Structure formats: C-alpha cells, structure tokens
Structure 1
C-alpha cells in the first residue's frame, strides 16, 4: 500500500503537478466523443471536481479504499424501504443545494426543502377534514390553509400529499410491516382551501444505525431532525412544490441535520387544551390537540 508523500497544504513539486494534471486531461478527453452534450458536461465537471478533491487533500490509497467500503455498505443497507444514499445526500447538504438550484425564488412562492427518504406512492385519499393518522400514535393536529398562485388566485383541485413520523419519531416504512400510516393526500376545494387531521410533529433522529449514522458520529454531528410535516403540492400549469413546515420554538431548528429548515417554513403549532372544541366537531375526548395554518403559494410551471 502506497501513501501520498506530499502532506495536505504542502507545496507539490512542479513535475508532480504536471503528472497529476495529465491524468485529469486524459480522463476529460475520454468523454469528448459523448454525443449527449448535457451528459458530457456533467461527467467532465464531475471528473474535474473529483480529481481536484483528490489532489487538494492528497488522498491516500487507504483513505480511498475506506471511501469505497463506505459506499459499498451504503448500497448494501439500501432497499425498497430504506434509502441510505438519500440520507447521505441529505447530511452532506447536497439535497438542499440541489433543491436550491432547481427552485429559484419566484415572487412570494412558498419555499421548497428536502424530499427525504420516506415518501411512498399510492397514499390513501383523505376527505376534507379527514385524519391521516391511520392508527399512528401522537397528539392530534388540525392542519388547514389555502393553495394559491403568485397572483393570489385560489387553485382548486390541487393535490396535497402529506406524510410524517409518529410520536416516537418513526415513519410507517420503518416498522418492517405493510402498514401505511401518518400519510395521505387531500385535494383543495373550489376556493383552494384544504384541511385535515395529522399529528403534532416531534423531533427524531434520522436512521443512524448504518454507514451515515457512523459518519455523523465520527465527525461529532447530531442525527436529529427538527420536528416537521412533509408536503408535496401539485397542480397542472404550476411548479410542483416539495416542502415541510416546522414547529416554532423547537431546539433543533438551528441544527437540523439535513439543513432543511427555512424561516418562512417555521409555523406556530398552537396548543389546544383537552376539551377545546375542534374546527370540524371531532370528539377528541380528554385529549389535548394542536392546530396550524399553512397557506401555500405555487410558482408557475417552468420557473
């Protein structure tokens, strides 16, 4: 096993610099025949940055092999219910950076944030004022709001996908069975309004029993996410929005491990004592509950 002889930050001899640069040039030229311009651009940029990283830190062969082993473990733990590569992208901030690049600010449109690894297709449809819990444990939370375009025009029939963790910080996909809970979709009415019962969000750690968790531990970072409720909102002619809302006052707002918190998405989840009448007459018995309002503004499609 060989090791780099030039320490990070130390001057690299000119002859050695040229030898390394020549390797990069040859690899870049190998993509010149690619007939897909975008693929060629992406691959050559990847090579430039990857080679620059290797040269900057004077990466040793042992370190490179450990990196390969890490990615191999990440692949082995990934399956149809757990996406460790998304977690890796999230904790490195790559997910949020990609979100930022692809969701440029547009007027008063609601800000986007990370998608996360826990979305599922084919969630149940919920009637207005219905409950997405489906047996998931947690304090009931009344969620309501409107969906409009940037001109303030209501958007009827917008599809709103919602999903969240239960009070123990687990999504349905983490239980290892076929349950589908704490998720669903609703449609806005003719005035662009929506409402449903969910659960008051609680903070939780991302899955940290795998390679990504060990990485966070090694660098002294917390796996905790600020409490949140996921939304994906879509309507023809408007930009699909993937976002969440966060609980104001939570201790993890400033240290969310996937960098997903934006001030505009922090909302007041107002505590309601047991016995407080509910907006749609639901009888909660002696249970306390909360309520939150989230008005959503969608940007035009293609922006």
Structure 2
C-alpha cells in the first residue's frame, strides 16, 4: 500500500490513481498465456507504484523516454546498451540470483556481459585463447565436477576476456578474434589453457548509460575478471567470472555488481625464469597462474 499522505495527496486523488492501476491490470485479465499475464500485470502494478511513490513529473517522464530512445539508438550488433543498463541497475545480477538458486557447493553464477560471441575458436587443453592480444600470459587450470564430486568429462568451457588495454576483440573494427575460445574438459574433468592476466577496465561509457553513471558519481570500471560459460548434459549451465585477489577495484566497487567472494581467486605472478607448466617459452617475460575448480549444479534441483 502506497503512503500517498506523505506527498500531500488527497484521498480522492489517491483513489483515482489506484482506480487507474486496477483498470490497466484488469485489461490483461483475458490474456490466454498465464505467464505473460502474470508478467504484465505485475509490471503494471510495480511501474504505477513507482510513479505514484516518487510523484513522477511529466518532464521527468519525457526525459526517461528520451533516455531509453538513446539507449536503443546506440545499440547495434556489437554493442548492447540495454544489457549495460540492466547491469548497472543490478537487474542482471538479481535475475541471475533468482534463476541460479544455491545448490550445495555449486560454483556461483554472475553476469553474462555484452561481449560474448558465438563460434569462438576451439583450442585443445593447454591451448592459448589470447590470439596475440596484449597482456601478461596467465596459465589457468582446474577441474569440472558435479556437486557430488564426480568428474564431468567433455564439458564445454567458453572463455573470453579483455586485453590489457581494457578492450574485447569485438570493440575493435578490424575483425580480430582474440581473448576468446572454447575447449572441453578431459576424461577426468580437467582443463587448462593460456590466457591473459585480467586487468580492470571501464564498461563502454560514451553513451547514455555512461552519462547516467557520471550524473550519479558512479565509476564505470569493472573489477578485473575472466569470463566462463560451462555446459554439460544433465548439468545447469554456468555463466560466471573469476576475479583477481587483491584488485583494488573489488573494494571500490564493480560497476555491474558481479563480484562474489567465492569467485575471487589468487593469480600468482611468476618470475621470467620460472618454468611454465607445459614448458612454454615466454621469451623472458613474467607470467601468472591461477586455479579455478568448477562445480556444476544439476539441471533440475
């Protein structure tokens, strides 16, 4: 029940506003799809409640429409501003929380982000996802198991990340494919690959979402992370990241609220003369390594 008295709204005005909400909700009553009816009626109730609570002005409503129009205009096949908007409002993480309930020791999920692409190249275990992108080489290894601890062989592991300059391959105009690949866990559920040590970077902030963050004194910077999407028959699809322990941005705040304590991993920097796990020659450069053991929840819990 909305307390309209604190806004100086008379009982007659409050009744008129409620009647309008009830009328709009009732207009969807004949919807044959029960789920669609639930979604629309709840949307109307919450949207009207917001308008009434903040006493939205017509100028503010027009600004909101213009803002959403700008979000649509800047969106294309390489940039999804609506996902960015959902992310910075925490709607993406809330949806993930609702759809990925806690399941024993299963790895926690986090935001998908706007930079995943289909048909990333396949690499063998121990292969390199960087594709020549700049950054410190990083050895990533781990296992894929179910919640009972059984290995999950043949799990498809999609990985993608930004380069050390903070850009994903799709943000360049030359068609490069870097910082992304997929591979499969072996018969023991093990996997390993070379990638890049993640670094902080800002989400695209030259559009309407960026202007909203600027107006509210919020940083567009994301904590350093590496994306994973893991799929296997009989298991719930996992979309997650791992984050870099000690990254100051974790304390400052991740712009899309994606950090979870269980996903913060130690990335250990190795001196240039330290032998690599697979004997790879890094030409005198330092490198890093981390471990991420993935636990998949069952498809139905």
TMscore range, shorter length: over 0.9
1:273 is matched with 271
Contact kept, 8 Å, 1:8 with 1:56, in 2: the verdict is no
Following TM superposition, by how much is the alpha carbon of 1:177 offset from its aligned partner in structure 2, in angstroms?
2.6
Separation in structure 1 between the aligned mates of residue 31 and residue 102 of structure 2, nearest angstrom? 33
1:225 is matched with 222
Which of the residues 274, 282, 294 maps onto 2:280? 282
Which of the residues 146, 170, 175 maps onto 2:172? 175
Q: 1:39-79 deviations in whole A, cap 9, x for unaligned?
A: 00000000000000000000000000000000000000000
Which of the residues 48, 53, 57 maps onto 1:51? 48
Q: 1:202-258 deviations in whole A, cap 9, x for unaligned?
A: 000000000000000001100010000000000000001000000001111130010
Task: Please report the RMSD computed on the Cα atoms of aligned residues, expressed in angstroms.
Answer: 1.0
**Where do 4+ consecutive residues of structure 1 move more than 4 Å?**
none
CA spacing shift, 1:44–1:265, aligned 2, 3 Å = same
Q: 1:95-142 deviations in whole A, cap 9, x for unaligned?
A: 000000000000000000000000000000011100000111100000
Separation in structure 2 between the aligned mates of residue 239 and residue 281 of structure 1, nearest angstrom? 35
Separation in structure 2 between the aligned mates of residue 283 and residue 243 of structure 1, nearest angstrom? 30
Separation in structure 2 between the aligned mates of residue 18 and residue 154 of structure 1, nearest angstrom? 60
Separation in structure 1 between the aligned mates of residue 208 and residue 6 of structure 2, nearest angstrom? 29
Following TM superposition, by how much is the alpha carbon of 1:12 offset from its aligned partner in structure 2, in angstroms?
1.0
Contact kept, 8 Å, 1:159 with 1:187, in 2: the verdict is yes
TM-score by length of 2: 0.97
Which of the residues 68, 71, 75 maps onto 1:74? 71
1:124 and 2:121 aligned:
yes
1:96 and 2:82 aligned:
no
In the alignment, structure 1 segments of 5+ residues that lack a partner are 1-6
In the alignment, structure 2 segments of 5+ residues that lack a partner are none
1:242 and 2:227 aligned:
no
Which of the residues 77, 83, 88 maps onto 1:86? 83
Q: How do 1:185-224 residues align onto structure 2 when only pairs under 5 Å count?
A: 185-224=182-221
Separation in structure 2 between the aligned mates of residue 18 and residue 240 of structure 1, nearest angstrom? 47
TM-score by length of 1: 0.97
Separation in structure 1 between the aligned mates of residue 113 and residue 153 of structure 2, nearest angstrom? 27
